[in-house]
A and B are shown apart, each in its own frame.
Chain A
């Protein structure tokens, strides 16, 4: 147990898919330290067995997402000073995803649901055709642009209580991406996409709790996108298209 104020009392979850527990570490405090710095220090100097993911360490890639004191965050963009309880902090793997080891999750479900929601572009033209002119100022493009900056970090997925309770639910990220494609005038797969997001595991399971919007580090709003999908699927259903 650290006694002086120059040390942090860090609890880190260690284990794998069969279970685990929190281990405590004493980490020296530094100026402008981030949670990623803390995890890095533990692995380099205290416990080389610790497994975790990071890449860019500057808030661009989303690889370092973890639960910090119970909230899903990018650890490279979380200053220790902003989350400390006294001198304590708890670091756990992202919620709602199976754990591979320690702080590294298995993102397979997350990306499978991306595909299930038809979160991919269906082209209608070939390289021989003219490029379709889409103005960035067109209303649909603006709607798509507002939701397009998702980097698949799974923070929203970890924040969502419906994802926790409804294992088949496609989740905020996949649905958010589907919404950007629903607003893409070049896309040719709209009916299949609306059928996918309007299905039993789709957008209608969202209860608008807005945990996703609260925690998205890119200030995206999946709840708003999902509301758009609800409208789009209702119109399509009433027209008999899905």
Chain B
């Protein structure tokens, strides 16, 4: 149940995420050496517009990507279609976006 617009959103969000995720991975591998605690993370991220922008974009992209990816799985295995499928896709996307925004705000504000 994927048309050209959802497909485009899926591929575009993937292309946005690929470099951002690699940056996130590298940063994390570096940051957790010798252990890490909340203060250490927050001292680097609090008040930073750049971290907020990067992680905000990442959270938005991953919400779109995961919602559409799960749409295929839900349609093919749970046989949900049409309006219920659209509602579920939006619900998953908005749920992830909400939690993601919450996390970004928590860490950068």
Is any CB of A less than 8 Å from a CB of B in the complex?
Answer: yes
Interface-side segment among A8-16, A61-69, A147-155, A198-206: A198-206
- Given A200-B1, A205-B1, does the pair A166, B76 have CB atoms closer than 8 Å? yes
Residue count of chain A within 8 Å CB distance of chain B: 19
The digit string for A25-47, where 1 denotes a CB below 8 A from any CB of B, is: 00000000000000000000000
| A237 & B77 in contact (Cβ 8 Å cutoff) | no
A205 to chain B: which residues have CB within 8 Å?
1-2, 72
For window 198-237 of A, CB contacts with B under 8 Å fall at 198-202, 204-205, 207, 230, 233-234, 236-237
B11 to chain A: which residues have CB within 8 Å?
234
CA distance A205 to B75 in the complex (A): 11
- Given A234-B8, A237-B8, does the pair A204, B75 have CB atoms closer than 8 Å? no
Smallest distance from the beta carbon of A212 to chain B beta carbons, Å? 17
| B1 & A165 in contact (Cβ 8 Å cutoff) | no
Smallest distance from the beta carbon of A233 to chain B beta carbons, Å? 4
Smallest distance from the beta carbon of A194 to chain B beta carbons, Å? 8
CA distance A202 to B1 in the complex (A): 8
For window 153-169 of A, CB contacts with B under 8 Å fall at 162, 165-166, 168
What residues of chain A have their CB less than 8 Å away from a CB belonging to chain B? 162, 165-166, 168, 198-202, 204-205, 207, 230, 233-234, 236-238, 242
What residues of chain B have their CB less than 8 Å away from a CB belonging to chain A? 1-8, 11, 72, 75-77
A-B contacts, 12 of them at CB < 8 A, read A165-B75, A165-B76, A199-B3, A201-B1, A204-B2, A204-B3, A204-B4, A205-B1, A234-B4, A234-B7, A236-B4, A237-B8
Name the 3 nearest CB pairs between A and B, nearest first: A198-B4, A165-B76, A204-B7
